[in-house]
């Protein structure tokens, strides 16, 4: 019960903060192109052992919004590189590709999904999916968010890609009706599609200033480390499974 009250308190703070700061406004509304992961030829003098090591590694694509993209963080401090380090430290050889785009809604993610996956060197072994936060902060229809995420999961299934779905929760200032429609999206879709669920992407971070950027929503490098510490075991299990 104490833990539930603590989470509720952090979510109330989360709701207050979102009155002033939105993921959608903190990031560019003009969605930049997907990261340059596609069809890049290896350097002419690339060492063969390095190439063999890369081929042996599991390929993970982190497909999401600013929480995945490493918003306002130094290179190497975002979710993808930190998760890659954590997986390798656990003995899971993995390459994690950053396919996060700041400001992305679920509809924008759905629109670029095929382009992103087709641009990878091969079909990924796993996709981390983290979209819907910007939908919520913009007050978009939870029904449309569900439809878009369902389509993304369908496409992953069609391509034989396992998924870890990182969930989001409605800010309390969105009201109980919105929360009742939005919050079940992630557990429902995870059950339907057999995806591994991480229920709340910001769990353990939201409401803790030491783990957040000044906007009070995006994690700083310490916040990313905290998230990765919770997320890495799930990802490792999904890869091994």
Tens of pLDDT along 228-240? 999 999 999 999 9
Is there a contact between 92 and 236 (Cβ–Cβ < 8 Å)? yes
Q: Is residue 127 part of a domain?
A: yes
State how far the Cα of 52 lies from the Cα of 34, in Å rounded to an integer.
26
pTM: 0.81
DSSP 96-165: EEEEE-TT--HHHHHHHHHHHHHHSSS--SEEEEE--HHHHHTT--HHHHHHHHHHHHHHHHHTT-EEEE
**Could you give the percent of the chain with pLDDT greater than 90?**
76
172-201 pLDDT per residue, tens:
999 999 999 999 999 999 999 999 999 999
Q: Is residue 141 part of a domain?
A: yes
What CATH code is carried by the domain that includes residue 225? 3.40.50.1110
Instruction: Print the domain residue range for 222.
Output: 53-70+78-240
Q: Is residue 181 part of a domain?
A: yes
The pLDDT of residue 53 is 55
Q: Please give the residue that has the higher pLDDT: either 169 or 21.
A: 169
108-160 pLDDT per residue, tens:
999 999 999 999 999 999 999 999 999 999 999 999 999 999 999 999 999 99
Secondary structure letter of residue 38 according to DSSP: S
Number of domains in the chain: 1
> Which tokens belong to 231?
């997320």
Q: Any idea which residues carry the catalytic annotation?
A: 66, 215, 218
Does the structure show a pLDDT above 80 at 224?
yes
> Which tokens belong to 230?
């919770």
Q: Is residue 59 part of a domain?
A: yes
State how far the Cα of 162 lies from the Cα of 128, in Å rounded to an integer.
9
């Amino acid at each position: 019960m104490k833990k539930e009250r603590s989470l509720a308190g952090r979510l109330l703070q989360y709701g207050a903060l979102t009155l002033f700061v939105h993921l959608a406004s903190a990031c560019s509304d003009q969605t930049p192109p997907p990261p340059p992961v596609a069809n890049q030829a290896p350097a002419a003098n690339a060492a063969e052992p390095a190439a063999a090591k890369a081929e042996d590694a599991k390929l993970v694509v982190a497909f999401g919004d600013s929480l995945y993209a490493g918003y306002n963080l130094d290179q190497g401090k975002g979710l993808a590189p930190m998760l890659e380090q954590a997986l390798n430290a656990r003995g899971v050889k993995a390459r994690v590709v950053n396919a996060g785009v700041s400001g992305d809604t679920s509809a924008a993610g759905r629109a670029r999904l095929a382009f992103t996956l087709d641009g990878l060197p091969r079909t990924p072994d796993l996709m981390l999916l983290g979209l819907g936060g910007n939908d919520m902060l913009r007050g978009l229809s939870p029904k449309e968010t569900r439809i878009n995420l369902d389509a993304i999961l369908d496409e992953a299934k069609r391509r034989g890609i396992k998924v870890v779905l990182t969930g989001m929760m409605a800010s309390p200032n969105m009201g109980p009706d919105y929360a009742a429609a939005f919050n079940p999206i992630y557990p429902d879709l995870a059950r339907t599609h057999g995806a591994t669920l991480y229920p709340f992407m910001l769990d353990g971070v939201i409401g803790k200033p030491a783990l957040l950027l000044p906007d009070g929503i995006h994690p700083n490098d310490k916040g990313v480390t905290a998230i990765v510490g919770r997320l890495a075991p799930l990802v490792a299990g999904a890869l091994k499974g």
